[in-house]
A and B are shown apart, each in its own frame.
Chain A
Amino acid sequence: MSNQPILDSIDPEIVETLVSRRDAIKKSGKVGGGMAAALALGSAPVAFGAFARSAYAQSGGPADVINALQFALLLENLEAELYKAVLNTSGVPAFNTAFNTVRGMFTPVEVATFQLIRDHEIKHVTYLQQTITALGGTPTMYNAATTFDFTGGRGSGTGPFAPATTDKAFLLLVAQTVEDTGVRAYKGQAGNLMSNNAVLEAGLQIHAVEARHAAKIRRMRRIAGLAGDVVRLSGTIRGGGAAAAGAQGSPPQAVVNAAAAIYGGATPESNTMHTVFNGTANATIDANALGLSFGVEAVQEAFDEALTRAEVVAIVQPFIIPTVS
């Protein structure tokens, strides 16, 4: 088969998961003779080869899937490279050196937490690369040294987030905002994955892991001494806009502005209006008008909100040297 070299680089289990025979038949609608023969053989990788050519390469839905996954891949690279640098395991020596001071402030248990989070992000990168390849796309590869600037300076190395390299509390704030941005970004892309059930489910699974990370970091900050009026032990987000970050002291204005975007947007984290399709029409319900008496803060916490792709791009662009589109 002409695309055998592509298949060689894909974990067969992933191909099998992504392109179950049932999905393949359902989504392609019309199965050609070669495809049907491959399906009859019962070999997922072989069936996939035919599938990539006959179905995914053509219609609009699959392109949206690959596009959303490429976007996720960029964000996961940013996360993975940040935590690698924090833990002195970056392939870029200057990144490792930059975090020397703050690294020395971690307890062994905190190191274990960051290692787990780092490893998850690295696995997400690999999984997204394999998934994009399995769907017939070409995953974008990033050179960390020329792509990322964790100070938010787009290559200057002296951006407003530089204190994260020397101040543990500030680093935890950055990690929290990075994870919460990830949760909001995945949520915003879920609709673009609806044409592929296996990819949608995988995306939701990654989305939940990011939410676990975000909750843990909020708890670390709270237990380190932050007040509970914003940063909850339940790891949920109270309120919206810059205040929802729970920043300490007087951070630089650029950091406040970033937090305002991370917890704000067209549908800020403080939103309480949620729309449901009830089978015949969309109905928008105010979750703060359900006759309960827990306070609007609890209602805000109970629902996380999505960010649009454009909103996420605006948030992460300062940390990415090339222009993100």
Chain B
Amino acid sequence: MSDKDKTVVIGSPEQLAQPATRRSFMKMVGIGGSIVLLPSVFAACDEDDDLVGPGNNGGEVTLNLSNDIGILNYAYALEQLEAAYYTQVLAASVFAGLPANDRELLTDLRNHEVIHREFLKRALGTAAIPALAVNFGNALGSRDSILSTAQTFEDLGVSAYNGAGKYLTSAVNLLVAGKIVSVEARHAAAIRDARDTTGRLFADLTTLTAFGADEATARDGAREPAFVLGQADPFITTTVRIGSQPTA
């Protein structure tokens, strides 16, 4: 299947109503293909049914990872996901009923991730990718699902930064990434610990092998952008594609 076959281009809102387009649309969703909504689609939407927004397809974003800006945008994408998640957690109906310790923890994480997101946005300036649309499905319904989803995001974030460090050519940028990744690791440990009774979950590397951790040498996760974005994909309704590949 060529890349062209994996992409459906929609140029007008009317096309969305045509059976052939709908079939292609659903097929693309099923195989993880891309759906391109040309600007004309949005231009035709009035404010009440804008296609961009939580729960809708938010268009498409391409990450060109072959330079530091691209890697920082990759980090910005992940921080957007985390910040949006905790922002929604704090607004969820179950939040007020959580124990005080959980509320402090989740509020701290919301604060830190929003700060990371806004910092990277400021750093990238006009090179920043647009805001991503997200959808967390049923994750916000209970303490257990809130914390387990948070754990996935934090462990994933650690593995993402660890795997991307080698693609940064600037020592200054590597240092900034290092300043952030250890905070993500602290978050991951804290969330895990809040769910734990054994005293070991905070750094149980045997539960992190899917993220690239190695228990034998006591190393945390490290994963490539393609893997990380694949894991994040179910929560991001914007289509995030990798354009140019990272170069070490």
B210 is an interface residue with CB less than 8 A from chain A:
no
Query: A187–B203 contact, CB under 8 A?
Result: no
Binding site of B, secondary structure by majority: helix, strand, loop or mixed?
helix
Within A297-312, which residues are at the interface with B (CB < 8 Å)? 298-299, 301-306
Q: Which of the residues A14, A123, A190, A212 comes within 8 Å of B220, measured between beta carbons?
A: A212
Question: Interface size bucket, B side?
Answer: 35 or more
Which of B2-10, B42-50, B65-73, B229-237 is near enough to bind chain A?
B65-73
Complex-state Cα separation, A306 to B178, whole angstroms: 8
Complex-state Cα separation, A64 to B69, whole angstroms: 26
Min CB gap A139→B, angstroms: 14
Query: A228–B181 contact, CB under 8 A?
Result: no
**Complex interface: chain A residues within 8 A of B175 (CB):** 187, 190-191, 275, 306
Complex-state Cα separation, A126 to B183, whole angstroms: 26
Contact A205 B221, CB 8 Å, known A116-B203, A278-B123: yes
Contact A301 B172, CB 8 Å, known A212-B203, A290-B119: no
Q: Which of the residues B101, B114, B186, B216 comes within 8 Å of A214, measured between beta carbons?
A: B186
Tell me which of A14, A191, A228, A277 has the highest count of chain B C-beta atoms within 10 A of its own C-beta: A277
Complex-state Cα separation, A305 to B115, whole angstroms: 16
Question: Interface size bucket, A side?
Answer: 35 or more
B22 is an interface residue with CB less than 8 A from chain A:
no
**Complex interface: chain A residues within 8 A of B190 (CB):** 215, 219, 233-235
7 closest Cβ pairs, A-B complex: A205-B219, A211-B185, A234-B108, A208-B220, A123-B218, A215-B186, A212-B189
**Interface residues in chain B, defined as those with a beta carbon under 8 Å from any beta carbon in chain A:** 67-69, 72, 101, 104-105, 108-109, 111-112, 114-116, 118-119, 122-125, 127, 158, 161-163, 165-166, 170-176, 178-190, 193-194, 197-200, 202-205, 213-214, 216-222, 248
Chosen A-B contacts, 13 in total, with CB atoms closer than 8 Å, are A26-B248, A119-B218, A191-B175, A201-B165, A205-B162, A207-B178, A208-B162, A215-B185, A219-B202, A274-B176, A276-B72, A279-B67, A282-B172
**Interface residues in chain A, defined as those with a beta carbon under 8 Å from any beta carbon in chain B:** 14, 23, 26, 109-113, 116-117, 119-121, 123-124, 126-127, 183, 187, 190-191, 194, 197, 200-202, 204-216, 219, 228, 232-236, 274-279, 282-283, 285, 287, 290-292, 294, 298-299, 301-306
